[in-house]
Chain A
Amino acid sequence: MIIEKSSPPKDHATRYSLPATSGLYIHIPFCLQRCAYCDFASYALNALPNGLSFGSYADALIKEARLAAKERGAPRFSTLYFGGGTPSLMPLDELRRIVAALRESFNVSQIEEFTLEANPDTLDGEKLASWRELGVNRLSLGIQSLSDTSLKELGRSYSREEALGALARHRDELAAFDLSFDLLLNIPWQNPSQVLDDIRTLYAFEPVHLSLYSLKVEPGTPLAMRVANEPELAPDKDRFADEMGAAEKLLEESGFARYEVSNFARDGKWSLHNLTYWRGGNYLGLGVNATSCIRGVRTRNHREFADYRAALMRNELPVAERAELTETERAFERLMLALRTMWGISRDELPLRIWKKLQAKAEELAERHPQLIVAIPERIALTSAGMNVEHALVVELAEGDLWGEPV
């Protein structure tokens, strides 16, 4: 077992104040194949529902962008993010049409960060050059593992050799982007130290950002069915903590900071887009199942393409759910999201009456569990060990009358 680091957040982090950002998210629901663990809104190319194609989807997105812009008065965004699915599968001409429509509908002249998610086996030289031309400056590459057994069991579409081969072949083009790699922890088919080997291997491609997620068994997925028959495959919480602790140590030695529960960056190359979510900023999501949150109103689009497109055909926004958050709910969300980050939450982010009680509670908690939480008069933040148990700590902080009755 690895002893978890328990140092409080760095001084610079507690003083640092991040600029306010707003994000535009585009969901691209196409994949080469469905992974065993995935419950996202995505379709395998060989099993597209009736009426869904790259072209029809681009048409729908463009329509949605125009409707949304009309409704909201062409807002300005500071980040743009193409997520999926596998956005790198999108043919270039369709992608160009979409980006052009976004430029037309929204104010994206000040975009600081333009991320596109890609799988290593979908990279080619032409795409990489065109993405750069379109303004993409950050690639988030879904690697997940470099163990062939794990890749096969997870249902990924490539092998270790294919992934590393593609990265090596395009080393020069990739150098034009800020690179982020996704890896999974807690994969039952691999040794706990595999993730450390993978990180070291990936260092060769000079990433500035890494996301380490935990393999999670989502209901209804092929993995869930498998775990039901083979319970020994169920993710183990202690193993997560051990792997995360070891990875964190390795990454810190290389200058990466764990700035969020699952995210590491060096040289301040945080994901600005994702920070918008964690810091309560406004974001607009386009595409199937995409969510938006603008001034405390949260909406979610239809998950099925047919419903999504039908609404657009009627010139309606394809919204399936809409909820307006109360002040308390907003504050509670603010807390539970901000505590995921190394900056934690500061006094100016919450109504004063809530802050005062919260701060007192946090001090009491910090007294009992100094290895988990740090409380100073202006700020409350979690240590690395604290981030691993963020839910339990938020529940402790939210005890009592502070947040009213749980809904």
Chain B
Amino acid sequence: MAHIDHGKSTLADRILELTASVDPRKMREQFLDSMDLERERGITIKMQAVRLRYEAEDGATYEFGLIDTPGHVDFSYEVSRSLKACEGAVLLIDAAQGVEAQTISNLNLAIDEGLEIIPVINKIDLPVARVAQTEDEIIGLIGGTRDEILKVSAKTGEGVPELLEAIAQRIPPPKGNSDAPLQALIFDSHYDPYRGTVCYVRVMNGEVEDGDAIRMMNTGKRFDVSGCGYFRPQLEETGHLSAGDVGYIFAGIKDIGDAQVGDTITLNQRPAGKPVPGFRRVKPLVFCGFYAADNEDYDDLKAALARLSLNDSALQYEQESSEALGFGFRCGFLGLLHMEIVQERLEREYQLDIVATAPSVAFEVELRDGGVQTVDNPARIPPPDEIRCIKEPYVLGTILTPVQYQSALIELCKERRGELKDIQYFTSERANIYFYLPLSEILYEFYDALKTQSRGLASFDYELAGYRESDLVRVDILINKEPADALAFMAHRKRAQQRGREVVEILRRTIPRHLFIVPVQAAIGSNIIARETIPALRKDVIAKCYGGDITRKRKLLERQRKGKQRMRSIGSVSIPQEAFLAVLKQDGGKKK
């Protein structure tokens, strides 16, 4: 485990090579990242498990499981799940970057699980490597001595044999009793069109074999095991798993919801007394609407989301409709990167052209009549006079930064309505700043601002920190007096007017003139806070039209006609998709 870009997947490649787990002819970079998108972006989205055989210096052959995990904060739930299946963790730290925010959050996860931690400094071959300082930072973080820290270059392979030896010597073998009733924790799953759901399990106690009748302890669903074995990394059928093993089970489970990640599998005949303490189902934090750019692709979008969600349990979606955009889906994500990746996969793997509405968080709305609603779509926030207060999710953010950027970053967080909680120093040069921030404030360009203010040296991580009351208002955008539901947004009262002005200005520039004057307004309730006017069209004709111009004119008009048919209509105003995109992009939709 490591902060993003510290070299996990490259190190995994070296380990696969040294343990001869992969046919050298099939070896390629980022071997365990199977998605095109992962390889292209150089990131890991989904964890991968593999069982390795290692002949140690003491002459013994050790079997151990390796799980390569994502580094990005959006996918930290993958890390926490995979740690449940482990006895130890390699904490990888980039020698040039030093300890970063996710290094600490991952470390805390591993400590919570009581794992043996092997600190490793990677990229020691880099000219800019700061090995000694990084060692100081690690010692400041977890104590210990310099010689407990391994130094490797995952790129050149230097130090990797020593790491394998350390894994064999330092990490204890799994505990557990093969004679006890079966407890196999499902820590991940994926859907295979031929075998159904493939459950990734860690057998805590007991044994399981092909043909066993099993039961999901949470859902109570029963199945018959039709195959089990190890990841090598391809599936190696053994027909048998026992306590301490990490492997897979499939049992003709057609609905992936029947094998929930975190559930415990036990034997139907001899059930365990209680399930393994699992993990809570991950809750989406960021929501947006996905619409097919061409409404006729709705069914394709629906099918594509259903397929994607089979292998992405964190993706949630439900049907919604928008007057402006037609039928689509309200989708919930772990963060903006997750949202971006799902959108990109829909576009690449399913050839869909997607319009995404502005990302939003889920608000808790307390009504005057005493009711409470959770609303994740600004257009669904009740009118102001029905609301007693609105609460929004907050996070506890951790910023790790060289001390010279500390005050600029504190300033940044204050601008974002942040509340400083604490500052810690674990070396004299590195500050650890803790802030409470509204989640919505870190969605838009926060990372970019953070990187700009710190010349790329600060890192950021966060965890949810409950809901707090805020002075939030819903801003409606009216086009020719009709609200454009897809463009409604939530804003802090002090910022509402500024943002409203920006949006109507963009719309004035991007909505073509019509045969009539089109007012574009931003409003809080019935109170107009910004207004622009699109003047009526006064010229739309080719002046010269004689024999030779007629075909050209017909084609021009046909194009104009076709363009108009593709536009969305609100208040009898045709709105080109570019206008929506210009507003939504401005709002967030941060692209790398």
A interface list, Cβ under 8 A from B: 4, 23, 25, 185, 212-214, 216, 237-238, 240-241, 261-262, 274, 277-278, 283, 285, 289-293, 298, 300, 323, 329, 332-333, 336-337, 340, 368-369, 372, 385, 387-396, 398-399, 403, 406-407
Q: Which residues of A contact B559 (CB under 8 A)?
A: 406
Cβ of B408 under 8 Å from chain A: no
Decide: A336 near B515, CB < 8 A? Known: A261-B543, A293-B550.
Answer: no
Q: Which 8 A-B pairs have the closest CB atoms?
A: A241-B538, A237-B539, A406-B562, A390-B541, A406-B558, A214-B543, A213-B543, A391-B540
Decide: A406 near B547, CB < 8 A? Known: A389-B538, A390-B541, A393-B515.
Answer: no
| A238→B538 contact, CB < 8 A | yes
Q: Which of B516, B538, B545, B565 contacts A337 (CB 8 A)?
A: B545
| B539→A388 contact, CB < 8 A | yes
Give, as a whole number of angstroms, the nearest-CB distance from A326 to chain B: 12
The answer for the CA separation of A150 and B191 in the assembled complex, in Å, is 72
| B554→A291 contact, CB < 8 A | no
Sample (7) of A-B pairs whose CB atoms are under 8 Å apart: A25-B547, A238-B538, A262-B544, A274-B546, A291-B551, A336-B554, A395-B560
Q: Which of A23, A336, A395 contacts B553 (CB 8 A)?
A: A336
Q: Which residues of A contact B544 (CB under 8 A)?
A: 213, 216, 262
Cβ of B126 under 8 Å from chain A: no
A-B contact count (CB 8 A): 113
| A389→B554 contact, CB < 8 A | no
The answer for the CA separation of A283 and B565 in the assembled complex, in Å, is 34
The answer for the CA separation of A394 and B514 in the assembled complex, in Å, is 13
Q: Which residues of A contact B538 (CB under 8 A)?
A: 4, 237-238, 240-241, 385, 388-389
Residue of A nearest to B514 (CB): A392
The answer for the CA separation of A49 and B489 in the assembled complex, in Å, is 63
| B539→A261 contact, CB < 8 A | no
The answer for the CA separation of A18 and B537 in the assembled complex, in Å, is 31
Q: Which residues of B contact A398 (CB under 8 A)?
A: 557, 561
| A406→B556 contact, CB < 8 A | no
Give, as a whole number of angstroms, the nearest-CB distance from B175 to chain A: 69
Q: Which of A240, A300, A396 contacts B548 (CB 8 A)?
A: A300
Q: Which residues of B contact A394 (CB under 8 A)?
A: 557
Number of interface residues of B (CB under 8 A): 30
Decide: A277 near B561, CB < 8 A? Known: A237-B538, A389-B538, A392-B540.
Answer: no
Cβ of B564 under 8 Å from chain A: yes
The answer for the CA separation of A214 and B305 in the assembled complex, in Å, is 51
Residue of A nearest to B539 (CB): A237
Q: Could you say which of A336, A368, A369, A392 has the most chain B C-beta atoms within 10 Å of its C-beta? A: A392
Q: Which residues of B contact A391 (CB under 8 A)?
A: 540-542, 556-557, 560
| Contacts A237-B540, A336-B554 supplied; 8 other A-B pairs, CB < 8 Å | A185-B543, A213-B543, A214-B543, A291-B550, A300-B548, A388-B540, A389-B515, A399-B561
The answer for the CA separation of A246 and B516 in the assembled complex, in Å, is 21
Give, as a whole number of angstroms, the nearest-CB distance from A403 to chain B: 8
Q: Which residues of B contact A399 (CB under 8 A)?
A: 561, 564-565
Q: Which of A238, A241, A369 contacts B516 (CB 8 A)?
A: A369
| A241→B539 contact, CB < 8 A | yes
The answer for the CA separation of A336 and B549 in the assembled complex, in Å, is 12
| B547→A277 contact, CB < 8 A | yes
The answer for the CA separation of A187 and B440 in the assembled complex, in Å, is 51
Q: Which residues of A contact B516 (CB under 8 A)?
A: 368-369
| B548→A389 contact, CB < 8 A | no
Interface residues of B in 523-577 (CB under 8 A from A): 535, 537-548, 550-551, 553-562, 564-565
Give, as a whole number of angstroms, the nearest-CB distance from A128 to chain B: 25
The answer for the CA separation of A20 and B506 in the assembled complex, in Å, is 50
Residue of B nearest to A396 (CB): B515
Give, as a whole number of angstroms, the nearest-CB distance from A343 to chain B: 15
| B547→A285 contact, CB < 8 A | yes
| B550→A337 contact, CB < 8 A | yes
Q: Which of B543, B547, B556 contacts A216 (CB 8 A)?
A: B543
The answer for the CA separation of A248 and B543 in the assembled complex, in Å, is 14
